[in-house]
């Protein structure tokens, strides 16, 4: 890896971390496209890498928000327990899908969520 690539990855990591803390995103919506489009990783590898990256960033941001009295720990733990089991099932399902199909499903999800956020944002302003 070149120094420029390492610097770019570090800068992207900072941006992703800020976005995770600011917007409450796990980072996957930024990391997966970056890894596939900018670095050329396969969809499976990008998603697996994103999941590993999300863990420490989510924990640190969550602890900081919790320290300031924001969030509901009981709800988070219940969602987390169920989510962990579901994530294992989802990971196994992802391995059964071709990378191109997985990429389309990921893009569709991002598109639908984006459209919903825009719709709700416009509605809230009215």
Return the DSSP state at 70: -
User: How much is the mean pLDDT over the chain?
Assistant: 88
pLDDT category of residue 26 using cuts at 50, 70 and 90: low
**Long-range CB pairs of 89-96, under 8 A, 24+ apart, other chains included:** 91/48, 91/51, 94/44, 94/47, 95/44
Whole-prediction pTM: 0.74
Q: What contacts 20, CB < 8 A, 6 or more positions away?
A: 26, 27, 54, 57, 58, 61
Domain definitions of the chain by residue range: 3-125
Q: What mean pLDDT is predicted for residues 32-46?
A: 92
Residue 27 pLDDT greater than 80, yes or no? no
Q: What is the pLDDT of residues 83-122, one digit of tens each?
A: 899 999 999 999 999 999 999 999 999 999 889 989 999 9
Q: What percent of the chain has pLDDT over 70?
A: 98
DSSP for 73-97, please give it: HHHHHHHHHHHHHHHHHHHHHHHHS
């Amino acid at each position: 890896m070149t120094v420029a690539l390492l610097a770019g990855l570090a800068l992207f990591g900072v941006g992703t971390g800020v976005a995770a803390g600011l917007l409450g995103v796990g980072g996957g919506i930024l990391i997966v496209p970056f890894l596939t489009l900018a670095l050329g990783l396969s969809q499976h590898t990008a998603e697996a890498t994103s999941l590993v990256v999300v863990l420490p960033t989510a924990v640190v941001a969550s602890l900081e928000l919790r320290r300031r009295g924001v969030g509901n720990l009981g709800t988070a733990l219940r969602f987390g327990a169920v989510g962990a089991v579901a994530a294992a099932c989802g990971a196994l399902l992802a391995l059964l899908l071709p990378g191109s199909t997985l990429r389309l499903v990921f893009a569709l999800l991002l598109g639908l969520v984006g459209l919903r956020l825009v719709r709700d944002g416009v509605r809230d302003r009215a």
